[in-house]
Amino acid sequence: MSLIPAGSLSYPALVAEYFLQLRGTGLLLSPLDLELVAEWERRGVPAAVVCRGMRRGWDDLSRERPPGAAPPRSLRALRGFVEEEWRAYREGRVGDGGAPGSEAEAARGRLDAARTVLAEAAAASTGPRREAYREAASLLPGEAGSLHEVERALGAADDLLLHRWILTLPRPERGALGPRCRLLAGDRTRRARRSAYRETLRTHLFEAARRAGILCLRGTV
């Protein structure tokens, strides 16, 4: 994988970089591929499991590919292999640290981790940024329900942190943020749904916030 430490990359960036290095070409995932990565993240599939599935799928397809045939161009071609790896991980046959526990335990673990990193970020910050982290923490539920409910709460906290960060930017920098994200995302193709393209833009927006030192819960906990 990259020489960049995995801990410094968000979930989508880590998965994207691994796939693009398997391909050996390209700079960005397509909107449809990013939508698939976002789905894996929402379901709590560990990035290490996704990467193992992609690696196995790439190797299997390479062995079966006729001479001269092109390799897979989209991450979606490897989806079945990732899903198999995820099932094996959950059944305890493979995986770092064994299979996860129940959904309730996973939800509670993510919620506790989110509270911890927000408290640490607030303690290390000052002024408006500290207040934003405290406000984000107040959006987290007192008790963990389902993973879906926790994911929604993390998303709301991330949206608040992103909004607060954008408001602190100087007007010229704030005005340039949208066009830069659209430039990075490229033009929306006919096959890409509008929702998938918007998710691509949001991914680039959150990556900009990360580079500015803003904590983003999804992809961190």
pLDDT digits (tens, 9 = 90+) for 11-39: 788 888 888 888 876 667 888 888 888 88
Instruction: Give the pLDDT confidence score for residue 140 in this predicted structure.
Output: 94
pLDDT digits (tens, 9 = 90+) for 168-181: 999 999 999 999 98
Which amino acid belongs to residue 127? G
Residue 66 has pLDDT above 50, yes or no: yes
**Residue 14: CA count within 13 A, CB half-sphere:** 20
Contact 78, 58 (CB under 8 A): yes
pLDDT digits (tens, 9 = 90+) for 89-133: 777 644 444 444 566 777 888 889 899 999 999 999 999 999 999
pLDDT digits (tens, 9 = 90+) for 121-171: 999 999 999 999 999 999 999 887 777 788 789 889 999 999 999 999 999
**Residue 139: CA count within 13 A, CB half-sphere:** 22
pTM of the model: 0.62
- Computed over every residue of the chain, the mean pLDDT equals 82
Residue 5 has pLDDT above 70, yes or no: no
